[in-house]
Amino acid sequence: MPLERSRVKLPKVIGHRGAAEAAPENTLAGFREARRQGAHWVEFDAKLSADNRAFLLHDDDLDRTSNGSGPARLKSWDELRTLDAGAWKSPAFTGEKLPLLAEALALFAELDLSFNLELKPCPGRAVETARLILDEVRRLWPADRPAPLISSFEIACLETARDRAPDLPRGLLLEEHPADWRDLAERLQVVSVNIWDRDVTPEWAGEIKAAGYGLLVYTVNDAARARQLLDWGVDGVFTDAPARILAAVA
């Protein structure tokens, strides 16, 4: 059975990478926009620079969401900090930077935001990414604030989280519908199973809930679909458009 269920109250709406429809993803501007839109939770991706600084980025490479190029794992933080992570989205965000994890955590405390941190390691760095990032979260996130949800597609990351930070609730991220999802969830001692909107069915949602797990679905930007999923028993959805979905499910 899932552990630590009382440690996290899953919301109906989580801002995906901030508010990715309106603002550049995984940036402080995006988190401020999510909060402005009414979100109380955000999701983001964290990885390590070449010199082991924890920072926010989804992709392995820098090209899509910054003016940098190539693998992030090859860049030091001194190189990464010079990049523009906003202009690709809109000229209004020119100069927005890739944030350090520490900067994001400070902003969340200031804005009263809860969060789901996805461990998104560069290839070959799963264990060290989980270890260093979890240590930083435990050091910097105020103990009197709600515990974050730590999730990953990488089994090695979740194993490290289970063993190194058992006090932090975990979410199992899945693509497709693996036959062994329940065995994985039990072994990793997660509190939630987080699945792709493309894969969810009323039957699978019912199985996950009947097994005692929270259920989150990514990424849902259509209001009618969000209402349908909640009717199926889904606890909450990740969305690029928090205001739109909040208005539909409030």
Quick one: what percent of the chain has pLDDT higher than 70?
Answer: 97
4 pLDDT exceeds 90?
no
Residue 208 domain-assigned (yes or no)? no
Q: At what angle do helices 155-164 and 126-140 cross, to 10 degrees?
A: 40
Chain centroid offset of residue 171 CA: 10
Structural domain includes residue 238: no
Which residue among the candidates 5, 7, 32, 58 is catalytic per the annotation?
58
Q: Which domain holds residue 68?
A: 10-186
E strand map for the chain: 13-16, 41-48, 54-56, 114-119, 149-152, 170-174, 192-196, 214-218, 236-239
Q: How far apart, in whole angstroms, are the C-alpha atoms of residue 24 and residue 128?
A: 27
Span 6-35, average pLDDT: 95
Residue 237 falls inside a structural domain? no
Residue 65, preceding bond cis, omega within 30 degrees?
A: no
- Tens of pLDDT, residue by residue over 155-176, are 999 999 999 999 999 999 999 9
Is 229 within a domain?
no
Q: How long a stretch of residues is the chain?
A: 250
pLDDT of 8 reads 84
Domain assignment of residue 234, yes or no? no
pLDDT at 192: 98
Candidates 16, 40, 53, 162; catalytic one: 16
Beta strands at 13-16 and 149-152: parallel, antiparallel or unpaired: unpaired
Residue 168, both tokens: 């932090």
pLDDT in tens, 62-110: 999 999 999 999 999 999 999 999 999 999 999 999 999 999 999 999 9
Question: Could you tell me if residue 35 is inside a domain?
Answer: yes
Known active-site residue 177: no
Query: Count of alpha carbons within 13 Å of 1, Cβ hemisphere only?
Result: 5
Measured torsion, CA atoms of residues 114, 118, 122, 124, in degrees rounded to the nearest 10: 130
Is 40 tagged catalytic?
no
pLDDT at 208 over 80: yes
> Looking at residues 217-244, what average pLDDT do you find?
98
pLDDT at residue 2 in the model: 52
- How many structural domains compose the chain? 1
Q: pLDDT by residue (tens digit) across 48-64?
A: 999 999 999 999 999 99
pTM assigned to the model: 0.96
The answer to whether position 232 is within a domain reads: no
Over range 141-158, report the average pLDDT: 96
β-pair partners for 215? 193
Is the pLDDT at 1 greater than 50? The verdict is no
Residue 104 inside a domain? The answer is yes
CATH at 108: 3.20.20.190
Report which of 229, 133, 214 is spatially closest to residue 173, judged by C-alpha positions.
214
Residue 143 host element (H or E): none
The tens digit of pLDDT for each residue in 106-134 reads 999 999 999 999 999 999 999 999 999 99
